[in-house]
Structure formats: structure tokens, C-alpha cells
Amino acid sequence: MRRLWGRLSSVNVQKAVWGLEELGLPYERVEAGGAFGRVRDPDYVALNPNSLVPVMEEDDFVLWESNAILRYLARGHGDGLLWPENPREAALVDQWLDWQATRFTPSTRDAFWQTVRTPPENRDQAVIDRSVAASEECAALLDAHLMGRAYLVGERFTAADIAVGAAAHRWLHLDVPRIERPTLRSWYERLAARPASSVALPPLS
């Protein structure tokens, strides 16, 4: 039995769902977080004391932190489908997972919250501008890295593309002025064409 707790509007839940779908693993997703609540309930806190989503239960094993879930799925299932056997390529996947968590997603967070989840009359344009500027730095780095590459690591799709692709989905759909970066856009469209991504990446909300 595999259960994933979390609402699909969360970029962190999206990563876990995308990994599960790519690997063809059966799972049940339970709505939690945001308007669905539950994350402060004692039974949920017993699973994740941070009161955040996602959480994955697999029989008697409980795991939280989205990139930890993604790593576990990619390393343990699919016979290397999402995780390279080459140790240096595997380290590069780890590098991009960490970059997504520490740089790319944090840079977009304020612009996302201000433009998607804050009423127009309450938005702070200065906060949006700072977030967009930080996001553009990340987008430029990503665009430069992808030149001449189909995917982030090696010659094939990996867990790195899932994590960074989910963050790129958010960035590229924000209603903000944005520098068009054709290489980044082409990579994202390649990911968006994958059937698993259509399950994992709904419109922003």
C-alpha cells in the first residue's frame, strides 16, 4: 500500500506525483494542506511533525520532504529509469535537486504567492519585482546549461528534470514580465509532452 498526502496545487506534491506516474507505481493520493487542512491534525503530525506536504506512506515506512521522496522512488524503482547508475551523473542529479530546492523555487515563491494567491488590491509590487529578478537569474543559469542538451543530466530524462521541471512550470506560467528564453522553453515543452507531467502539473492555483 502506497499513499501520498498532499494537494496537487503544491509544487512539492507535484514532484512526488510526477515521479510516481513516470515509474508507473500504484498509489492513493489524499488531499491535504491548504484549503484541505488536515496537516495540523494529530494523526498527520505523527506522520510529519513539520505539518507540511507531501508525506508518503509505503506499508510501514513513512517519508517526508519532496526531494527525499523523489530520490527514494527514483533510486528504488524503475531499474534506473530516473536515476543514473554512473556515480558522477547521479551526483549531478543530486546537484540539480538541491538547486531547485534552495535557489529556483525560493526565488519564484513571492511572485507566485503575490500574483496567484493574493487579491490584486493586497499585492506588493516591490516584492513581486524582487522575486522576478531573482527568478530571472535562475532562469538564465538554467537556459545556459541546457544549450546543446536535451535534459539536465546526461542524454536522458532523470529525476532532476522532474524537480526542476516542476519549478519551471510554475515560473513559466506566472503572470509577470519575463525574458523569453527559447532553450529553456523548448526543454520545458519536451517535459510537458510527457504523459506523467499532464497528471502532475495542473494550472497554477
Q: What CATH number should be reported for the domain holding residue 55?
A: 3.40.30.10
pTM of the model: 0.97
Where among 12, 44, 76 does a domain terminate? 76
Q: Work out the angle at residue 72's Cα, subtended by the Cα atoms of residues 70 and 77, and round it to the nearest 5 degrees.
A: 100
Residue partners of 191: CB distance under 8 A and separation at least 6: 157, 161, 165, 168, 197
pLDDT per residue, tens digit, the chain (205 aa), is 899 999 999 999 999 999 999 999 999 999 999 999 999 999 999 999 999 999 999 999 999 999 999 999 999 999 999 999 999 999 999 999 999 999 999 999 999 999 999 999 999 999 999 999 999 999 999 999 999 999 999 899 999 999 999 999 999 999 999 999 999 999 999 999 999 999 999 999 9
72 within a domain of the structure (yes/no):
yes
Q: For residue 72, what are the domain limits?
A: 2-76
Please check whether residues 183 and 114 belong to one and the same domain. Answer: yes
Residues 171 and 118 in one domain: yes
If you average pLDDT over every residue of the chain, what do you get? 97
Q: Are residues 107 and 175 in the same domain?
A: yes
Is 161 among the domain residues? yes
Q: Which of 25, 52, 76 is the last residue of a domain?
A: 76
Query: Which CATH number characterizes residue 160's domain?
Result: 1.20.1050.10
